[in-house]
Structure 1
Amino acid sequence: ANRRARRWANVQTAQDTLEGLAREWWDMLHRHATVQKHAERNLRRLEVYAFPMLGRRPVREITAGEVLEALRVPERQGRLDTAHRVRALIGQVMRYGIPTGRTDRDVTRDLKGILRSPRVTHHKAVLDLDQLGAMLRAMDDYPGTATVRGALRLAPMLFCRPGELRQIRWADLEGDVWHFQPSKGGDPLLTQLPRQAMHLLEEMRALNGRSEYVFPSMRGRGRPMSENTINAALRRIDFGGQSGHGFRAVARTILVERLGYRDDIVEMQLGHQVRDMHGRAYNRVQWLEERRNMMQSWADFLDSLRQSN
C-alpha cells in the first residue's frame, strides 16, 4: 500500500511540474487547436527554452523572475520573437493549470513590457491595381508545373496563409464548401468557394485527384508541396516583390477600402479570431452568406483586373 501511495505521489508530482502540465496541455488542447506543424514547433520551443530551467519545477512554485531568467536565453541570442512566443506558451500552460488545480495564477502576466520587442517586418504586398492585374496575368502564364500554377492562381483568390493553401486536402472539400482550419489558433471556418475557385479545383482534381492533397509535392508521395513553392514561383514570373502571405494584406485593404466590406467579416475570413461584444468567439458558420458574397465579389474583382490592360 505504501509503495502504491509513493508511486501515485510521484505521478501527481510529475503532473504538477511545468513540463508535465505543458505536455498535458499540448496533448489535450493545443495540438487539436492548430495545424500539426505549428503545434509541433511550439512544443519544440518549450523543450528548448522552458523545460531545461523550469521543466522539473512545480508550476505552483514558479515565480515571474524564474520565467524571465529562462526567457533571457533566447533574448540574449537575438531571438526576440521566440522569447515572446515562449512567454505566451508558458502563460497558456499556466492558465490551463488554474482550473485543473495545479497553480493559482499565471505569473507571465507580470512580465508584460519586460522583454525587448522584436522589430516588426511586413510581408511584401502589391497594392497598385495595374501591377496587381499584370501579376495575375503572369500567373496564368506561369511556365512551371500545372500544380504550382494552380496554387499560384488560387493564392490571391482565397488569401489564406501559404501553409494553409498548400495543405488543403480533398477531404476538406465538400461541394463548394471548404472546411477550413486556420493555423495559429484560429477557429474552424466554413467557406463557400467562388465559381472561379471551383473551376480551378476541377482542373486540379483531374490532375491530382488520387493524391491526399490538392497541391501535392512532386518530390515525395503523401506530402504537400513545400512551403517555399509559392514565393519561388512569384520570383520566377518576376514578381519577387510580392510574397504569398502578402495576398492577405492586399485582399484586406481592397475588400474594406474599395469594395466596402465590414472589417469583422474580412477578419473572420482571414482566419483571425473575431469575438462578439461579450468576448465570445463566433462559430464557424457565422456570416456564411455574407462571406460567400464577399468571396465571389473578390474573385470577380480579380478577374476584372486580370482582363484590364
Structure 2
Amino acid sequence: MPQRKGLENHTSGSGFILLGFSDHSSLQGLCFTVLLVIYLMVLTGNSLIALITVVDSSLHSPMYFFLRNLSFLEICYTSVTLPKMLVGFLLEDGRISFLGCAAQLYFLVLLGSIECLLLAVMAYDRYIAIREPLHYPLLMRRGLCIRLLVGSWVAVVPVQVGQTYWVFTLPFFASHDLHHFFCDVPPVLELACADTFWNQVMLYTIILVFAIFPFSLIVISYIKIIRTILKIPSVLGRHKAFSTCSSHLAVVMLFYGSATVVYLKQRSRDSVDTNKYLALSYTIVTPMFNPVIYSLRNKELP
C-alpha cells in the first residue's frame, strides 16, 4: 500500500492525538460540564438499578439478573471512554499513549460485543416468560442464566484480544491524529500505512458473529413474542405482556441504531464527523437512558 504524501512509516511513537472536540475548542467548558453530568447520571442510574435488584428479594428473577448485569456493563462501557475525554478537556490535551489507546479499544469492543450477546439473551428470556409463563422459573433457572452470562464473556474475550493485537501490530503513519473522541477500530485502521484488508475482514466477521447474529436472534424472538401476544384474548392481557418487553426493545433499538450506521456505513471524509457523533450515542447516550427507560416502563422498579 503506498504511503500518503509527506508522511513517513512509523510504528508506536508517542501515541495518538484524539481530535474529537478540536472543532469546538471555544466550548470546552460547556462540553466538559455536559459530559460530566452525563457520566454522573450513568453511574448513578445504573448503580441504583444494580443495587435495587440485589437488595429487593422480589426482583431476584432472571429478567432482573440480566438487567443488573446490563447495568454493570453500561457503567464499565462508559468508563472506558468518558473519563479520558473529561481529563482531555481539563488539561486541554487530547494525547493518549499507544498502550492506552490499545487498552481503550480492547475494552470498548469487548464490552460492546458482550452487550450485544446479553441483549439477545434478554430477548430469549422475555420470549420464554411470555410463551411459557408457568414453566418460566424452571426453564430459566439460575444455573442456566449464569452459564449464558459466563459463556458470553468466554466467547468474546479471546476474539477481541486477537483483533486488538492484530490492529496494533500494524505500522502507522507518523501523523497520529485520530479524528475521533476515543480509540475505535475503524478510525485507528485509517492511520495504518499497511494493507488492512484482512483487518477489515476480521472486523466485519466479528460484527457478523457478535452483533448481526445476536440481533437476528432478537428479531426472531420478538416475531415469536408478537405472535404469542396476538393470541392473548384480552386487551389488558396483551398490554401487560407487551409491557414486560417494551423496555428491552427500546434499548435494543437505541443501541443498535447508531452502532449499525457507524460500523456498516461506507466511511468517507464527509462521514467522519457524522460517525464520531453517532459513536457518542451508543457509548454514552444509550447507557444514560437505559435506567430511565427501564424505570419508566417497569412498575416493579421505583
Does the pair score TM above 0.5?
no
Larger Rg over CA atoms: 1
Structure 1 or 2: more helix by fraction:
2
Structure with higher RCO (Cα < 8 A, 6+ apart): 2
Short-chain TM bin: under 0.3
> What is the TM-score when the length of structure 1 is the normalising length?
0.23
